[in-house]
Structure 1
């Protein structure tokens, strides 16, 4: 048996060893036996009635496993994985930014109460889990229902609504050995009973950090954040059936960048993490989200819904890209985006026909301001070509270019750019199920999506150093060196451009069809086929200061599902199997002038296949266990660059980056007499490539297994607990920058203490 097999077996054995006769001191909502309602597909459906592969994280699981952020969910869900630090995630091996390292649009999105969160803010407070009602991970294309940026799937976070009947409150304090302190509170209740209620929640986090900077002092990954939320719910007696919910979420985060490197050329670098950068790497987020929802029954089985969302996200990312005590390179990027969405939807729930018809509008405006100091390796080949064009022989050109590079190994460049953008999307969509018989149903859906986007760029590049003395090879070669100096300055100047814009427009028709069969009340299978879409756009070539257009990419997804309950409902087993064919993928191509001569092109085709299995079982009134397994295989089948590209990497036959072949997770809960409870859980991920391309073997990180646990005591409204993350102190890397002796390291073993009150 493999190590992970032994681990999962031991988790299950530990669960079975707990006393089954122990008195249950509370009645938590669990994933076993209780009906879980999912809303990510725009309808309130039981999880067992949904053929889409959806993993649901409930409030009880968040409490049992002390889940703090959305990254905790990424690491505990089948076929879901965290990528480079906290930059994003993969679903079924597809990164939320796409598989080919090209393109502007996302391949998967995160929604909070219906508001899409910009990728630049995903590592901050908008996606933390305090006072969250449910997290749904929708695996596989959601383009028919979610539309924009959902080719790989989506993550839907729903926060808790106010109560209209009683006052409730929650508070929690968490403290870890690494001085990570979190203070959380929520309070709400009826202002007018059965008609008007409100809920307020707040979370303050202060984390000292664990990566000590031995150049500047302090800790690079220190963090402070404040997350505030207010919700108002109104069900007026004068309009029976009408429900209105308004919410506002304010997040302010100041802390380490979305990833932090630690030096790997230090002794015992896992347990004594240090950095040497002379400048701070910071990621500051200011996020404001407002959502207004209306629901009103037009008839007995027909409901009208409206969801309006607005969010503003300001992010500042500062990175010392060389990571050394010297002031060599640095990046200071500022993102400001405003997003407005409006959805109108009709839901019908009849005896034979159930479905929805909706209209969607999306507008995002904003810009990226870039301020960088970078070093570009001196292009000896380009210099040699310049010399040959001016009469030098091949041998002379090679000798002179090599000698010049010895004087100026890198070209220091000051690079400033502003990149405004505007994206508008309008769509009509529908989804329906029609019961041909009591058991057999047809599934169908469509989306017609129209997008207009406009990308603009203005850049200023300047030589930021000292050119070699023209006489360093003697007076005889001084004119040649002056010519090379002029050529170097010219290469830098070529990266400057006046304000230029490029507008694109795309139409996509995205159908879905399928069939579902309920063999018994507790056993259902389904098969669906649907088309997915990621829009095109324009990308800037930094070296040439050009906006280059690229086209959309499309995929077809074929999926089978199983939903089942066994042993009188005490055991649930759900599974999905899938195959996706993907064409016209957006990738990055290089064109030879220097390391910044690149832009997005449509050059790849690929496929992927795999499955997910999730099981939950109740082993009596005091013990329940759960497990999941995900398997994905990805492969680029075709790669054909356009004429003029000089890229040496051929993606054909390679795998997607950050696409683990296996993701496994398991856990057990036990409740003892006297108010004690325990949880143990583990998750495993196979090795992943951290870049795309044939040399990805040099950037592979090893498999890792992380075990966590919690032991608690509850009496009345109070609860005390201890918890541990990475119990076995697994030492692993998320990314290894070996040539620079830096790595993104996984979280170390961490013990913590918590207390909570619930009423």
Structure 2
């Protein structure tokens, strides 16, 4: 028997020494009590399990081997046991894992260590670092492109080597081979867009034997419906093969729009993929991957008051709706160059996304089709990468060259916001490489680097922009004059103003001013700024080093340490509401990892642990504009921060029938310094990152019975987290525990399987995100902006939104029938 005791509150505040200029000295402090306890706990846990694995009479049974996992995202083609850094690999077809019965990307990441959904299914956060940085609302990120992806994202998502957006909502995992979650900076290998980490999805490859798979998913009333199939086979024997996959999912629906009497969170996802694989003489290989997807999703938010009353309803008029049409292709190849250790690799990628989001700005039933906004993005990316790889006994690595051209057109328009358009053309060129040298039989040295240069051109075009300063003054003046005239706002009219003048309550000049103010506010005519037409050019260069050292304690156990530079380029843009222009410089991180990987000799046990420390300099923050609404921001380099923590993963094939698995994530984040003279940023000092729970824990098991029956169960705990960088208590989401279960039956003597899956078995009510404080402030501003008749102005004071929150999915029950032909 053994016990594992870990106390997050004893976690160290510092791991490496950092000099005042942000450069790390290669000196590590002694691990403090909390880290020592964590490492000791890991060792204590590993020893008995390893002993069980070796002592079992079945330890030589190959059926108990967990199989070797190959990590592709770091481009080194190493097994998980040989990979440095914190990596979790998920196989969507397996029910026996920490992801439980989850069947889309967001359900999966919700159940991994130190990974959370970000801003209500608008991307993910890895170690508290969201896709766009510290976002402050459901769609307003640190980017010029609000409903797709940006060249400045912090967490990248790739499908078959193609960069894709996760802002369109969840997408399914049908015919997916594996999902890799890479935590921490991947800048030396993946470059721009991966300072916080990456999600790498690889779909199933074509096969040279004919196969076909179909699946039908039927849910309960709220469970949804799905139809999927894939067909694969040879075109030319042993040379050319194809694979076609189709997936359509609708639902589930948990939110009701009571204003429009319809589903608020309607969901319709369509994905089509085609792959061609060519294998030539001598090991040459070329694969073409294409995809076509259409996404239609509703809101992820409900009224905060209704949520507190136990209801999942929205009153938005109109209902939020996002459409995304994406098309992409990658051509990846590898060719031997005559030497058995030398090969050339190429990756050519093209992708386009066209997305539009319609939403109600104040999220209330009032002023239907008045307080609305439309956000549109049209982005295109072309990239070419070449790598020369050498795989020898004394050196294993690659050098590469990379070029990318990103073109994007992001716009927003509404009666409230006016119209703003930002066009960007960003060209990136890089030389990069990574290699591993054995220093001895047990010790290896890893060196990586990236030289990158970026040129960006940003065109800003805006008109019909609201003058908020004048609006505030006029709204206040209207109240003063109406009070002096003793007229309720609803009774302001030329006749009543004339009577007030005759009674001597106001002068003729004041009467004329009162009538003019009421007319302007009633019609929302505060469009007084001059049109904006501006162009900004930026250029950045960076050198990113990486250094790693690993040591094989035994054939089964390996320890490693790495230190590397992370980077996000600077840029330019315009704020959402008043199109305020801004420019900002690059931000950088130093990332330190210390880890242990253990794989038992019989392959039944896999244990991984990773300690990390991140020092973040010249951090790009979103700062509110004083004369904009509460959701209008500019980006500035304004501070520094740090984060550190731990990830543990365990997978154990205890017997031929029983499999155990679990994971643990501990995380501490803090804003440590304000680098500009800003009371706002100084007020953030000591605050945590957004969506950065201090602990995440998962555990579960699966058991295979006789006659094709299997059962699995997984539980996942996530600690509380703040939804805003201000760390306001009203926007803190509580911790939650989810339990999933699955029962499967493989029909004998036929390729037919039936699965019964339940996510959130106990129908736990929980929130992923809270947007209360900011929306309440916004609604107050919009009371004076609604394009309503003056007679209805008196109602505006009663228009009150107490904010919105994003609930997690309730219980979903699905029956899934899978047939193979």
Q: TM-score, normalised by structure 1?
A: 0.85
Q: Are 1:82 and 2:117 counterparts?
A: yes
Aligned pair in 2 of structure 1 residues 677, 212: CA closer, same or farther (>3 Å)?
A: same
Match of 1:173 among 198, 216, 222: 216
| Matching residue of 1:385 | none
Match of 1:40 among 73, 87, 91: 73
CA distance in 1, matches of 2:525, 2:452: 41
CA distance in 2, matches of 1:629, 1:747: 23
Match of 1:356 among 398, 421, 426: 398
Shift in Å, 1:520: 1.0
| Matching residue of 2:713 | 680
Deviations 1:100-143 (A, max 9, x none): 7674311110011111113544x254xx3111111001111101
Match of 1:744 among 799, 806, 813: 806
Aligned pair in 2 of structure 1 residues 493, 183: CA closer, same or farther (>3 Å)?
A: same
Aligned pair in 2 of structure 1 residues 553, 483: CA closer, same or farther (>3 Å)?
A: farther
SS at match of 2:67: coil
Aligned pair in 2 of structure 1 residues 281, 294: CA closer, same or farther (>3 Å)?
A: same
Q: Are 1:617 and 2:652 counterparts?
A: yes
Aligned pair in 2 of structure 1 residues 40, 728: CA closer, same or farther (>3 Å)?
A: same
| Matching residue of 1:450 | 453
Deviations 1:577-622 (A, max 9, x none): 0111111101122342242664111111000101101011111101
Shift in Å, 1:565: 2.2
CA distance in 2, matches of 1:290, 1:648: 42
SS at match of 2:683: coil
Q: Are 1:161 and 2:200 counterparts?
A: no
Match of 2:728 among 696, 700, 725: 696
| Matching residue of 1:283 | 322
CA distance in 2, matches of 1:518, 1:249: 42
Shift in Å, 1:675: 0.6
| Matching residue of 1:437 | 440
Shift in Å, 1:543: 6.2
CA distance in 2, matches of 1:428, 1:250: 31
Indicate if the aligned counterparts of 2:561 and 2:593 stay in contact, CA closer than 8 A.
yes
Q: Are 1:251 and 2:251 counterparts?
A: no
Correspondence list, 1:337-486, <5 A: 337-374=379-416, 414-461=417-464, 472=482, 473=484, 474-475=506-507, 477-478=510-511
CA distance in 2, matches of 1:463, 1:100: 23
Shift in Å, 1:735: 2.4
| Matching residue of 2:663 | 628
SS at match of 1:325: coil
Indicate if the aligned counterparts of 2:180 and 2:200 stay in contact, CA closer than 8 A.
yes
| Matching residue of 1:607 | 642
Indicate if the aligned counterparts of 1:658 and 1:689 stay in contact, CA closer than 8 A.
yes
Aligned pair in 2 of structure 1 residues 516, 491: CA closer, same or farther (>3 Å)?
A: farther
SS at match of 1:72: helix
Q: Are 1:318 and 2:358 counterparts?
A: yes
Q: TM-score, normalised by structure 2?
A: 0.79
CA distance in 2, matches of 1:528, 1:605: 22
Q: Please, what is the CA RMSD of the aligned residues?
A: 3.0
Deviations 1:345-389 (A, max 9, x none): 111111121101011111110211201233xxxxxxxxxxxxxxx
| Matching residue of 1:650 | 683
CA distance in 2, matches of 1:487, 1:47: 65
Indicate if the aligned counterparts of 1:120 and 1:335 stay in contact, CA closer than 8 A.
no
Match of 1:265 among 280, 286, 305: 305
| Matching residue of 1:136 | 180
| Matching residue of 2:44 | none
Match of 2:108 among 73, 77, 101: 73
Shift in Å, 1:650: 1.7
Indicate if the aligned counterparts of 1:606 and 1:636 stay in contact, CA closer than 8 A.
yes
| Matching residue of 1:528 | 562
Aligned pair in 2 of structure 1 residues 513, 559: CA closer, same or farther (>3 Å)?
A: same
CA distance in 2, matches of 1:626, 1:513: 31
| Matching residue of 1:555 | 589
Match of 2:235 among 171, 191, 202: 191
CA distance in 2, matches of 1:620, 1:469: 77
Deviations 1:68-107 (A, max 9, x none): 2211221121111111210111111211212476743111
Q: Are 1:711 and 2:743 counterparts?
A: yes
Shift in Å, 1:212: 1.7
Aligned pair in 2 of structure 1 residues 95, 495: CA closer, same or farther (>3 Å)?
A: farther
Aligned pair in 2 of structure 1 residues 293, 486: CA closer, same or farther (>3 Å)?
A: same
Q: Are 1:569 and 2:566 counterparts?
A: no
Shift in Å, 1:478: 4.8
CA distance in 2, matches of 1:59, 1:752: 16
Indicate if the aligned counterparts of 1:459 and 1:495 stay in contact, CA closer than 8 A.
no
CA distance in 1, matches of 2:421, 2:768: 31
Moved more, 435-444 or 210-219: 210-219
Indicate if the aligned counterparts of 1:308 and 1:342 stay in contact, CA closer than 8 A.
yes
Indicate if the aligned counterparts of 1:263 and 1:269 stay in contact, CA closer than 8 A.
no
CA distance in 2, matches of 1:509, 1:562: 28
SS at match of 2:305: coil
| Matching residue of 1:53 | 86
Indicate if the aligned counterparts of 2:70 and 2:78 stay in contact, CA closer than 8 A.
yes
CA distance in 1, matches of 2:73, 2:634: 35
| Matching residue of 1:21 | none
Q: Which runs of 5+ in 2 are unaligned?
A: 8-57, 144-151, 485-505, 777-800
Indicate if the aligned counterparts of 2:674 and 2:681 stay in contact, CA closer than 8 A.
no
| Matching residue of 2:622 | 588
